[in-house]
Amino acid sequence: MEYKTENKKCQNCKKTFTIEPDDFGFYEKIKVPPPTFCPDCRYIRRLLDRNEYNFYKRKCDATEKSIISIYRPDVLFPVYKQEYWKSDAFDAKKYGRDFDFTRPFFEQYEELRNVVPHLAMVNSNSVNSEYTNQSQNNKECYMLVTSGSNEKCIYGSWCQNSHFCGDCYMAFKSEFCYECINIARCSKCVWCQDCSDSVLREKQYYWFNESLTKKQYEKKLKDFSFNKISIKKSMEKMMELRVKIPVKYYHGSQIQNSSGDYIENCQRARYTFNCKENKDTAYMQDAWLQTEDCLDCTEIIIGQLSYEVQGIDTPHRSMFIRSCFNSITDSCYCDMCFGTNNCFGCFGLKKGQYCILNKQYEKTEYLELKKKIIEHMRKTKEWGEYFSAKFSPFAYNESMAQDYFPLTKTEALKTGYAWYDHPSRNYPITLFTKNLPETSAEIQENIVEETIQCSTQNSSDQKEKYPLCTTAFKITPLELSLYKILNLPIPKKCFPCRRQDRFTLRNPRRLWHRKCMKEGCNNEFETSYAPDRPEIVYCEKCYQAEVY
């Protein structure tokens, strides 16, 4: 059947959005009605049930032991520590129940979710890395999320196979790096962005784009005074350089008929961000490895024919799924399940099959009942909708929505999102920002005993701008040794404030239609560089001609 582009009004933000002909084909294929939310509002709705790094000390409701969890101590549902939750001692099927056709689906699903124990954190096979989440195989890491196989990495996200990196976002096979974004195979880099394979391109020993010998570079680095004023000046110099050299309209390579940013090896992938090896996909974020024929997936690997899923490894023919691991197949509306297929509206199952609301059925019984529930949900207008914001276990400012679409408390409440007010911290400050040592040489070993005030607490404007600020922070011995190795001063801001600054350095996950800025070129494209930005934005062809 022939489909036409259609404009619709988003039921959430009330703005107009477009449904493309290809989208209609996909909805038809998986038998769901077209979306009622715009792509950004759908993305925010998925991000809302993803808390990566707001950790709380609380009790494990099974063992009574003190644990670290992404769930606050005051949530309704029980929370179990990982080892207990994954053991045979816990089976979520015992909470199974019948479906009631006189009531909406989500209401019944919420009742189930609020009694089934939740997994405190997800950090399997990790040594001495209690404060890591959505991660695996890490050793001696601290405050690290969505990362795997690292050692001694701190305050970072999306780090892989790296050693002793601090405050990095997307670091692959790198070591001794600090405050870097999108780096691969880098060593001793500080405040670097988009330095992939710098060694391969023989771009070693560059000082503000000036080529130096190894010796010259090392002398420059040694003589460079890493105090706050010189760091600020260097950053400004770097910004000046950045706006003089043309940039390609997207970050990434090898794309065909695709749009987005930070994309690699993609074919017919529309409006995708930070995706690799995507084919026939749209509205995807952080979807990696052999992902085909999917729409609206966030944080997945190896996906097929799936829609509106978040935090899943290997989703196949599945829809409306959040935080499931070890693959999920032919399932709908499931959450926190491991190795599941043919399940509907289930929570916390391990190797589940033919279950509805955690109750076990025979295959034919299951298929029959599933069909009836979908019919029921069509009538209640629930079928085709992802879990609503009000069913998220997290407030807006605890979730990843705050990272990609930051709001102040006033804005969030006005939009109808929940906001979490952290109990007053009142840490007794022993070191104020203005008294911080200027250089690495001046740092005393006993700095690890100090409670340092975060610099954003000095003005009410800044306080509003950095709603996740912890107000004060401590320096860990591991962190201090990294500053010493890299000759760096102590940061002025706490971890969440530094993270917020880092996120604003990356282009937003939005696209604007623009024209190539090279004189005489008429190429047009979708780019994450907003029209009012200072960079010179080129199409692929002009960029290649200029830079290589």
Query: Which residues in this chain contact Zn ion in the complex, by CB under 5 A?
Result: 10, 12-13, 38, 41, 454, 456, 469, 493-494, 497, 516, 518, 521, 523, 539, 542
Q: What is the C-alpha separation between 459 and 310, in angstroms, rounded?
A: 37
Q: Which residues lie closer than 8 Å to 197 by C-beta, 6 or more apart?
A: 184, 185
User: Can you list the positions of beta strands (E) in 112-235?
Assistant: 118-119, 123-124, 132-133, 135-136, 142-145, 154-160, 169-172, 181-184, 193-195, 206-207, 210-211
Q: Specify the length of the chain in residues.
A: 548
Q: How far is the CB of 456 from Zn ion (least distance, A)?
A: 5
* Between 375 and 524, CB nearer to Zn ion: 524
Minimum distance from residue 544 beta carbon to Zn ion (Å) = 10
CB 96 within 8 A of CB 108: no
Which residues on neighbouring strands pair with residue 89, listed in sequence order? none
Closest CB 433 distance from Zn ion, rounded Å: 10
Q: Which is nearer to Zn ion, 361 or 387 (CB)?
A: 387
CA angle centred on 340, ends 338 and 344, rounded to 5°? 115
The nearer residue to Zn ion, 116 or 494, going by C-beta atoms, is 494
Instruction: Using the minimum distance from each CB to Zn ion, give the nearer residue, 85 or 250.
Output: 250
Please, which residue, 214 or 428, has the CB nearer to Zn ion? 428
> Residue 113 or residue 518: which is nearer to Zn ion going by CB?
518
- Considering beta carbons, is residue 17 or 27 the nearer one to Zn ion? 17
3-state secondary structure of 416: coil
> Residue 489 class from Cβ within 10 Å (0-12 exposed, 13-18 middle, 19+ buried)?
buried
Contact 448, 475 (CB under 8 A): yes
Helix, strand, coil: what percent of the chain each, to 5? 25, 30, 45
Closest separation between CB of residue 167 and Zn ion, Å?
A: 13
Rounded to a whole number of angstroms, the minimum distance from the CB of residue 28 to Zn ion is 23
Match 């954190």 to its residue by tokens: 121
For Zn ion, the closer of residues 16 and 128 by Cβ is: 16
Which residue number, 10 or 221, has a Cβ lying nearer to Zn ion? 10
Q: How far is the CB of 454 from Zn ion (least distance, A)?
A: 3
Map tokens 């890493």 to a residue: 226
- Cβ of residue 401: shortest distance to Zn ion, in angstroms? 13
Nearer to Zn ion, 13 or 238 (CB): 13
Q: Smallest gap, in angstroms, from Cβ of residue 493 to Zn ion?
A: 5
To Zn ion, the closest distance from the beta carbon of 49 in angstroms equals 18
Closest CA to 258 of 22, 13, 496, 482: 22
Do the Cβ atoms of 232 and 226 come closer than 8 Å? no
- Nearest distance from C-beta of residue 453 to Zn ion, angstroms: 9
Distance between CA atoms of residues 76 and 80, nearest Å: 13
Closest of 372, 283, 278, 291 to residue 42, by C-alpha: 283
Residue 489 CB, nearest approach to Zn ion (Å): 17
Nearest to 45 by CA among 74, 19, 12, 8: 12
Please, are residues 369 and 380 in contact by the beta-carbon 8 Å criterion? Answer: no
CA distance 506 to 123: 26
Using the minimum distance from each CB to Zn ion, give the nearer residue, 136 or 523.
Answer: 523
